[in-house]
Each structure stands twice: as structure tokens, then as C-alpha cells.
Amino acid sequence: MQSIKSLSTTVIVLLCCLTGLLAQPYRPSAAINARVETLLSKMTLEEKIGQLTLYTTDWGSTGPTIREGYKDDIRKGACGNLFNSHSTAFVRELQKVAVEETRLKIPLLFGFDVIHGYKTIFPIPLGEAASWDLEAIEKSARVASTEASAAGLNWTFAPMVDISRDPRWGRVMEGAGEDPYLGSRIAEARVKGIQGKKLGDPDAMLACVKHFAGYGAPMGGRDYNTVDMSEKYFREFYLPPYQAAINAGAATVMTSFNDYDGIPASGSKFLLDQILRKEWGFEGFVVTDYTSINEMVMHGVVANDKEAGELALNAGVDMDMQGGIYQAYLKKSLQEGKVTQAQIDEAVRRVLRLKFELGLFEDPYKFCNAEREKNTLLAPAHRAAAREVARKSIVLLKNDQEVLPLKPSQKIALIGPLADNKTELIGNWNGAGNFNDCVSLKEGLSGANMQYAKGCELDGADRSGFQEALRIAGQSDIIVVAVGEKANISGEATSKTQINLPGVQEELVLELCKTGKPVVVVLMNGRPVVIPGIAEKANAILETWWLGTEAGNAIADVLWGKYNPSGKLPMSFPRSEGQIPVFYNEKSTGRPFDPNSKWTSKYIDESNSPQWPFGYGLSYTSFAYTTPKASVETATTRGIPSGKQVKVWVSVTVSNTGKVAGEEVVQLYIRDLVGSTTRPVKALKGFRKIMLQPGESREVRFDLTADDLSFYRSDNTFGMEPGEFDIMVGGSSNDVKSVRIRVN
């Protein structure tokens, strides 16, 4: 097989078409290209640079707002795109300046971070990932896009598809967790949901895949920090979701703040030109993250802002977010021959194409219909969808003696700083969401035989509420205690070294456990947390993340058993911070863990396994798996193009052995026993979410593809090697049954 590095775009596109695996990467039509050329021929250099410029309004930002007077910039044609302006009235006001007061009347793009809902807020992305329900995730993105596009927006800075194995990194809440396969499927679902049936529809927005690339792997989990790892590792574990999003048609890509292999992403020809455009055939535009061109000076790879702009354009950055570098220096750089007119023109083409694609030239106000805005935001159907996705996102981590579901006859003590709280439920990056629209847990449980006490705050050392909490606990049959994090301690710039529950919350829970009454812990948080005491002592634990507008109803549905929990963790929960990073798809090492040998890979003060692993999650029913069967013991793959099925499938029968109906996520993992480079002990390659009635059994079959068995080999090519593979199927990464096959 050819080296990946030398594969031409044509070959890749051809392969992709053959396999049918690549949905449809964005491709401009000839008609649009022709319109772009006509417009481009009329533009001055300043107007062209304006199209490559994106500024925030003063409505909100995630960094220093270094520029004022954006309206004047629009008027001069010096700013062709805005972000952080939304609502039809405001967008209309700004669009009017562009289309009525500029020479060429080129409409603006309006971007915003619509991360998990615009007005109706859905679970945080990490939470939604726990649903392993691609239809539900696509629906969530669709609703978000429907609402945001009704509020004037045509571009969202989502999905964030950065793989992360480090819960110290606060942004894990925005992604899909630790696994490249699950992350890729979710990336596709989100892009499809955001962009809808086709760009140009009034409810379709441009998606922006971010942060390209490797942003989820900063050293020490510290946001914005250096990223470095071998190219093979990078391609195997970190790049797949970005590519999946491109293949699903994502129209734009955002660069990341970090460097990779010594080059900041916004100046990396390797990332932007070689991988993104040449290997993956991306034809949309690339925008930087917030002032990340400027930050290349601090990275120390250029001496000043002007050089930073040159590095960025030469690498393949089309649009400068908020830095003002292109606007300030590109003209001079062109005069000095540091960049070419052709490069500038190409970047402008990429931006203009998508403005045509959206239909903005036909109707620049197509997203500014106030009536539509009013009828769309927080529509009852959207709230219903949010409740549905929210309940699917909940993970049952523990349920000893089946204390859950609650029984209507039980007297409940509802305790905890998040039990009667709304402000945190919409999580971080909550669009235009208003926490007053949220249903709290207490409201969700209304009608129950229940007493409430707060117990303590979300942080701080005040234990004065313990007494009242213990008093009502003493009068109850069962305790439900809601603890977790404030929403603003996950998300951007919120890296932490201690990921336990802040303040005295764990202490409160442990005090409640001492009463001897059954304790159900409802966790609300944005990242995996370390809670060894609670993990041991509580009877039941529900991970509910931040579930959004319908949080309280969704949690109540699960507590009462009106919905049987079906979520599975998309990211491992460590036992202690010292284990981080702890993830399921690790390599074997030359000295794999052996409890009887000191000289093997382990800690002397902690177990190797996480508290709860990737793929783990309980149900109110139980499932039994047969040992998987392979259709053949030896499969042949010769001559089969990448992505095609090898002639082998694996099947298992899954039975619901409990008393209630339930959904199970049947997970398929693969291990290549001998490879020319070390292989993970397990790698997810497929999953199915199935509903089974009590007593019902179903056969689940997975057809293996050549790609499932392929990897980056010692010569840097991607492909299979003949040999033996363990094919494992089960309901969690740590609970599988296995069959061995040979591939010739």
C-alpha cells in the first residue's frame, strides 16, 4: 500500500466513493464557482481582506475584545463576518449596514457558539455522547440549528470533536469523550443535524469543526498547553473525528490554539494543507480560533504580528477570528511578496462560496424573520426533544439492592445544593439559554411525598446545613442527594488538578450514608469526577451531567422508572487524579499488569483500572450476552479496498434477563494480536443500541470492514496485516466476550 503521505486527493476521494463510507464532503457547484469569480473580479484588495476578517460584537466574547467600531469596519468593507451577535433584530441591523452601505453589498456571516442548544438547552455534549444514540444527537443539533437560524444566525462554532482522555481539561464537557470511533460517529451526527438537509435551507447553518487539531491533548490537561505525540498516534486516536465531520459535509473548520509537533495549528501547513485539504479533500474555509494568529508571536515561532499573518495565510488559514492581523498587515505582506495575490483570492473564494451556498445574496435577511423567531424558540416540540435526549444521556453508575427506581409509596428526603437549583442546569456554553426556563430536580419530582433541605453550598466549607439535612433524612424512607459542580468550572480555561466535588459536598453525602437509609446520589457535572467515598458508600449513583432546560423532568423520569436508564460512559472516570490519563484503549506495554509481579506496569498505591470505564452503564434490567460467533474462522481480505467489508461478520445474542424493558448499547471491540506497531488492547469498532422487552432475545450482527482491522503500520501506511484478531462484544469496555478470527 502507498504511503498516506503520498496519496493524492483524487485517489482518496475515489476510494471514499467506492467504500460509500464518506457521506458527502462539502463541494461547491460550478454555478456557485462562476458567481464567485464574477464577484471576485470586482473586488478591491481591501474588500477581499475584509471577507477574511471576523470580529466579535460587544455582546460577549471568550477573550480580550481588542477591537471596537466593528460597524465602521463593516461599512468600509473591512469586516465581512461577525460573531456573538444574535436575535433577528440585532442581526438585521448589522446586515443592513453590509448590504445597504457597502459598495459591493456582500452579506455578512453571523457566527455564534451554539454548542448544545440555542434557547432550548440540551445536555452538554459529553452528556449527549453518553446516550450513544446517534439519532437523538442529530436531533438535538437539528433543534439547536432550527432555533439559532430563526434567531438570525447562519454559522455555529460546533461541533467540537476533540478527543480527550484528560478530565483535568475543562473542555471535555464540549466533546464526545475519549474514543475516536464513538467520537467520529457523533461528529457526523452533529454535522448532519447542524447543516440539515442542505445548506441554503432557511433552517440550515454552517457547521464549524473544531479545534483542528489535537486541542484535547494538552500536556497536564492545562488548557492551551503544548500538544505533542507521534504522528501515528495522532492519526489513530485524535484525527478520526475531524475527518468524519469533514466527510459528513462540514463546511468550515476552526484551528486550535495549541501547537502540534512544534508548530502552532494556525501556522501549520502540515495540518491545514497536507492533511485537511490534500489528504481529506476539504473545500470549505478555515477560520482561526480567537486571536490565535496573534498568539503565534507568544508561541515564539514568529517575531511579530505581521509575520504571524504571513505564516497563517501560507499555512492555509482563510479567516482571522478577532485578531485583526489580516486587516492590519496582509496588504503590506502582499506588497513585500511574503504572500501572493493568488493565496488571498483563494481564501476569499472559499468564504464567498459559502455565502452564496447559504443563499445570502438572494436574501441577506433570510434568517431575520421575527415572527419565525418568536414561534420557534422554546417551542413545545423542542422542549419535548430536549427531555427525550436528556433522559437518554443519564448513566446509572451504581444501583445496589435495586434501590432505584423510587417507589411512589416512599417518603423522600431531597437534599443537596443542586436539588432546587436552576442556574447550573444549562451548563457552560449555553447559547441564548435562560436558566429560568429550566425545570429543577425539585420541580421534576413535584407531587412526591418529599421534604427538601439544601445541606450545603456547591463550594466553601459551611457545614451549617448538615443538621437540617440529617433531620429530614431521618424522617424519610430514601434520600436523593443532588451534588456536583458549578457550570462555570467546566468549559474553556477551567483546567483543574483536583476533580473531586468542590467544598463539603462529598462529606455531606457520606454523613447521609451513615444514617443507614438508602442514598441515591444524583451527580451534575461537566467532566468525570473523582468520588471514591461516594462510589463506595452510596447505594445508587446517577450521572446526569448538565442536562439543560428539561433536566429536572428527565431525572425524575429516570428516578421513577418511567424511563429505564440506557446511557454508557463516553469517558472513563478515574479513581484518583494520579491515574490521569486513564482510558480503555491503551496499549499492552511489554510488561502488562500482573497482580503477582512487582515488575509490571502498575501503581503501587492505586489500581490500574478506572472507577468506571468507558462504555459502562447499568440499567434497571439485566442483559446476558452469548459468546460471539464469527461467520468464518479465517477471512480473506486481499484485494478489498479500504473500508469494504472483509468477508466476516460477528454475531451475538443479547437477552433481557430482567423484569422491565430496557435499551442496551451492544459494543464491538477489536484487538489485533500482532502488528508491526503496537496495537491497543481494545478498540471500539461498532455499536448498536437495541430495545428489548423482558425475556426477549435478539441477535446482533456486525459486519467487519477492512478499515476496522487497519492501522498505521510501521512504514506509516494505513492498512491491515494478516494475522489473528480478537473480536469482543459486550455491554461495557470491561465486560466483553470474545471470539478469535484469523485474517489472511
Indicate which residues carry an active-site annotation: 289
For 338-355, give the secondary structure using H, E and C: CCCHHHHHHHHHHHHHHH
The residue (of 70 and 290) whose beta carbon lies closer to ligand NOJ is 290
- Assess 62 for contact with ligand NOJ (CB under 6 A): yes
Q: Which cell numbers hold the place of 500?
A: 473531586
Residue 278, Cα to own-chain centre: how many angstroms? 25
The residue (of 289 and 550) whose beta carbon lies closer to ligand NOJ is 289
Q: How many chain residues bind ligand NOJ (CB under 6 A)?
A: 7
Residue 262: CB minimum distance to ligand NOJ, A = 21
Site for ligand NOJ in 716-735 (CB under 6 A): none
The residue (of 158 and 413) whose beta carbon lies closer to ligand NOJ is 158
Residue 309, Cα to own-chain centre: how many angstroms? 29
- Assess 511 for contact with ligand NOJ (CB under 6 A): no
The residue (of 251 and 706) whose beta carbon lies closer to ligand NOJ is 251
- Assess 210 for contact with ligand NOJ (CB under 6 A): yes
How wide is the angle at C-alpha 568 spanned by C-alphas 564 and 573, nearest 5°? Answer: 130
- Assess 65 for contact with ligand NOJ (CB under 6 A): no
Among 157, 169, 563, 712, binds ligand NOJ (CB under 6 A): 157
Residue nearest to ligand NOJ (CB): 157
The residue (of 60 and 694) whose beta carbon lies closer to ligand NOJ is 60
Grid-cell match 494556525, residue found: 266
The residue (of 310 and 492) whose beta carbon lies closer to ligand NOJ is 492
- Assess 295 for contact with ligand NOJ (CB under 6 A): no
Residue 293: CB minimum distance to ligand NOJ, A = 13
> Which residue, among 721, 719, 716, has the nearest Cα to 234 in the 3D structure?
716
Do 228 and 170 form a contact (C-beta atoms < 8 A)?
A: no
The residue (of 258 and 549) whose beta carbon lies closer to ligand NOJ is 258
> Which amino acid, one-letter code, is at 617?
G
Q: Which cell numbers hold the place of 582?
A: 486513564
Distance CA(266)–CA(250), nearest Å, equals 19
Among 133, 310, 492, 511, binds ligand NOJ (CB under 6 A): 492
Residue 398: CB minimum distance to ligand NOJ, A = 34
Do 678 and 671 form a contact (C-beta atoms < 8 A)?
A: no
> Which amino acid, one-letter code, is at 489?
I
Do 736 and 685 form a contact (C-beta atoms < 8 A)?
A: no
Distance CA(260)–CA(279), nearest Å, equals 18
Residue 436: CB minimum distance to ligand NOJ, A = 24
Residue 731, Cα to own-chain centre: how many angstroms? 22
Positive or negative: CA dihedral 170, 579, 534, 461: negative
Among 47, 162, 289, 485, binds ligand NOJ (CB under 6 A): 289
Residue 488: CB minimum distance to ligand NOJ, A = 15
Dihedral of the alpha carbons of 379, 381, 387, 389, in degrees to the nearest 10:
-110
Residue 435: CB minimum distance to ligand NOJ, A = 20
The residue (of 290 and 326) whose beta carbon lies closer to ligand NOJ is 290
* 742: β partners: 634, 724
DSSP 8-state symbol, 587: B
Among 26, 118, 290, 326, binds ligand NOJ (CB under 6 A): 290
Quick note: the x/- pattern for ligand NOJ over 15-54, rule CB under 6 A, is ----------------------------------------
The residue (of 291 and 611) whose beta carbon lies closer to ligand NOJ is 291
Cis before residue 213, ω within 30 degrees of 0? yes
| Residues 6+ positions from 164 with CB-CB distance below 8 Å | 171, 172, 175, 177, 178, 216, 217, 571
Strand pairing of 412-415 and 478-484?
Answer: parallel
Residue 210: CB minimum distance to ligand NOJ, A = 6
Q: What is the CB neighbour count within 10 angstroms for residue 300?
A: 9
Residue 289: CB minimum distance to ligand NOJ, A = 5
Residue 493: CB minimum distance to ligand NOJ, A = 9
Quick note: the x/- pattern for ligand NOJ over 102-131, rule CB under 6 A, is -----------x------------------
Residues that bind ligand NOJ (CB under 6 A): 62, 113, 157, 210, 289-290, 492
